[in-house]
Amino acid sequence: MSDTATATAYSQLGGEPGLRALVDRFYDLMDLEPAYAGIRALHPSTLDGSRDKLTWFLSGWLGGPDLYQQRFGHPRLRARHLPYQIGIAERDQWLACMSQAMQENAVDVELAQRLGAAFFNTADWMRNLGG
Ligand code: HEM
């Protein structure tokens, strides 16, 4: 099953360990980089739960096992983000943080571009503030 034309993004990322490494890098960067301090401040003091939830969600979203749905049912992602003020600045910080994580984890450039476009649509849909 190494046919790249039919491979899921999940398997192209290296399955569960590759995805977990990407999510860990994403939240490490969110913790470390001043450029992402705005969205870091929206998160709980410890990011352990966020790491698990994003890994479980992306697993299904990228074509792997639907771990989030199995635990929590339908993600209702937009509703779950309503408690946080998300405008263009927050959207762009999230996307830049994920883009840096993909680059630093040496995700294939074409795959990173494809995922970047999909992340943009989802992050933009999460906005609940004008700016
Ligand atoms: C647009 C900018 C975004 C901001 C500022 C943001 C912020 C947050 C915050 C503060 C939480 C709560 C963390 C926690 O409870 O540990 C959260 C949860 C979550 N976010 Fe985002 N997020 C954004 C975009 C996204 C995107 C694009 C995705 C998916 C591709 C995503 C997936 C999730 C998931 C799966 C959860 C856990 C939901 C739950 O079960 O409570 N987020 N986000």
Instruction: Tell me how far apart the alpha carbons of residues 26 and 57 are, in angstroms, rounded to a whole number.
Output: 14
pLDDT at 3 over 50: no
Substitution candidate for ligand 1 out of 31, 72, 80, 81 with most atoms within 8 A of CB: 81
- The tens digit of pLDDT for each residue in 38-59 reads 999 999 999 999 999 999 999 9
Q: In angstroms, how far apart are the furthest CA atoms of the chain? A: 45
Residues in Cβ contact with 124 at an 8 Å cutoff, skipping those fewer than 6 apart: 91
Substitution candidate for ligand 1 out of 29, 54, 56, 58 with most atoms within 8 A of CB: 54
CA nearest to 107, candidates 6, 10, 5, 3:
10
54, 26 contact by CB (below 8 A)? yes
Residue with tokens 């969110």: 30
- The tens digit of pLDDT for each residue in 77-95 reads 999 999 999 999 999 999 9
127, 88 contact by CB (below 8 A)? yes
Task: Kindly state the average pLDDT of the residues 12-18.
Answer: 98
- For the entire predicted model, the pTM comes to 0.95
CA angle 74, 81, 33 (to 5 degrees): 120
